[in-house]
């Protein structure tokens, strides 16, 4: 892929910003498509010379999507959320919204499309979140046959909501609650590695139509992960098993909040392992050596 413009939907989010930064570092012009472009500010160091522009786009509004991809050679859709809000359901964002991006990208003659999904996406899942992710993949494939799908595990990195939340709770609480007995396995992946994967996929036409599952170099049981965090912090905390039924009840109570810190879908996600599947294409197939969580953790603890 040359230096034609790339449109990044959701480019102001945690992953989106890293993708924008990585593209701009190569001198690629980037169009950041977000609902509130006035909030999508990027440091001059990201792209000296002003190769980043922000435009208003809502994946549910195909007209705005069409304007966002006009004249671009590639598009990356990073839009997603864990909490449903009024007018922004999982189906609207991860399902139909994803289809709108794929459809308009094809219509505009965009050469390459990368769709960010997640490990475990399944259109038959009982979880509305996981199901919408799976349906979105199917709709994207139907609308844009050569789309590449990236399925990252839980993302970590400076300013993430994953490690930083664990660190914040560990600083304040005398004990940490486990999901069940803390045996659910996770394979956290560095946000920078997913951004790099996105760029390499665009540069390699041979990745068109393929799906990659992106995980870090180590698989942790949830209990092990908390122990790693605590060791880095130099803290000791009691790890308390909490039945999933209790978590589900708590999620139901918290669901009345505008932005609940815990949802039923989050609890459902913690019931099943989130690791790269056997035989799946991954970071190594893109020539990327994944960054270890322990290497980045000090920035969360000391930052």
Q: What is the pLDDT of residue 43?
A: 62
Let me know if residue 239 belongs to a domain: no
Phi, psi dihedrals of residue 116, rounded to the nearest 5°: -90, 120
Domain contains 13: yes
At 144-155, the pLDDT tens digits run: 999 999 999 999
Dihedral pair phi/psi, residue 24, rounded to 5°? -65, -30
Note whether residue 170 is domain-resident. no
Q: Could you tell me the pLDDT band of residue 1, with boundaries at 50, 70 and 90? A: very low
pTM value is 0.93
Confidence label for 94 from pLDDT (cuts 50, 70 and 90): confident
Establish if 28 belongs to a structural domain.
yes
Question: What is the count of structural domains for the chain?
Answer: 1
Summary mean pLDDT of the chain: 91
Could you give the dihedral angle defined by the CA atoms of residues 4, 158, 215 and 260, in that order, rounded to the nearest 10 degrees?
A: -100
What is the tens place of the pLDDT at every residue in 157-190? Answer: 988 888 888 898 999 999 999 999 999 999 999 9
Predicted pLDDT of residue 17: 92
Residue 258 counted as domain residue: no
Residue 96 lies in a domain: yes
Total length of the chain: 303
- Strands of 74-77's sheet, edge to edge? 52-56, 30-34, 6-9, 74-77, 112-116, 148-152, 211-214
Quick one: average pLDDT of 43-72? Answer: 84
Residues 6+ apart with CB under 8 A from 25: 46
Which CATH number do you get for residue 118? 3.40.50.720
pLDDT band at 46 (very low <50, low <70, confident <90, very high): low
Q: Does residue 237 sit within a domain?
A: no
- Categorize the per-residue pLDDT at 133 as very low, low, confident or very high, splitting at 50, 70 and 90: very high
Higher per-residue confidence, 46 vs 294: 294
Q: Lowest mean pLDDT of 16-20, 257-261, 277-281, name the range.
A: 257-261
Query: Residue 37 domain-assigned?
Result: yes
223, HSE (Cβ side, Cα atoms, 13 Å): 10
pLDDT of residue 263: 87
Q: Which residue has the higher pLDDT, 40 or 171?
A: 171
The arithmetic mean of pLDDT across residues 200-221, rounded, is: 96
Rounded Cα gap, residues 288 and 278, in angstroms: 18
The boundaries of the domain holding residue 27 are 6-155+189-216+273-290
From residue 4, alpha-carbon distances to 24, 29, 60, 112, 288 in Å are 11, 7, 26, 11, 24
């Amino acid at each position: 892929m040359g230096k034609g413009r790339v449109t990044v939907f959701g480019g102001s989010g945690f992953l989106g910003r890293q993708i924008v930064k990585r593209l701009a570092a190569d001198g690629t012009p980037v169009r950041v498509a977000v609902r509130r472009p006035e909030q999508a500010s990027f440091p001059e160091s990201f792209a000296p010379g002003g190769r980043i522009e922000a435009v208003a786009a809502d994946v549910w509004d195909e007209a705005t999507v069409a304007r966002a991809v006009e004249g671009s050679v590639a598009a990356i859709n990073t839009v997603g959320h864990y909490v449903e809000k009024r007018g922004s359901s999982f189906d609207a964002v991860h399902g139909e919204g994803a289809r709108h991006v794929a459809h308009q990208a094809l219509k505009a003659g965009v050469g390459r499309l990368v769709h960010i999904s997640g490990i475990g996406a399944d259109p038959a899942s009982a979880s509305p979140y996981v199901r919408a992710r799976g349906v979105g993949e199917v709709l994207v494939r139907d609308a844009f046959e050569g789309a590449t799908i990236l399925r990252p595990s839980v993302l970590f990195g400076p300013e993430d909501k994953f490690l930083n939340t664990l660190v914040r709770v560990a600083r304040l609480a005398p004990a940490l609650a486990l999901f069940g007995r803390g045996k659910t396995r996770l394979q956290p992946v560095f946000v920078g590695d997913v951004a790099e994967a996105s760029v390499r996929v665009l540069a390699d036409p041979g990745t068109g139509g393929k799906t990659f599952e992106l995980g870090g170099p180590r698989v942790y049981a949830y209990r092990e992960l908390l122990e790693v965090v605590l060791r880095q912090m130099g803290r000791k905390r009691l790890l308390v098993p909490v039945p999933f039924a209790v978590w589900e009840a708590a999620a139901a109570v918290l669901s009345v909040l505008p932005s609940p810190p815990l949802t039923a879908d989050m609890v459902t996600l913690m019931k099943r392992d989130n690791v790269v599947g056997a035989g799946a294409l991954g970071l190594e197939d893109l020539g990327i050596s994944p960054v270890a969580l322990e290497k980045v953790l000090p920035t969360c603890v000391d930052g």
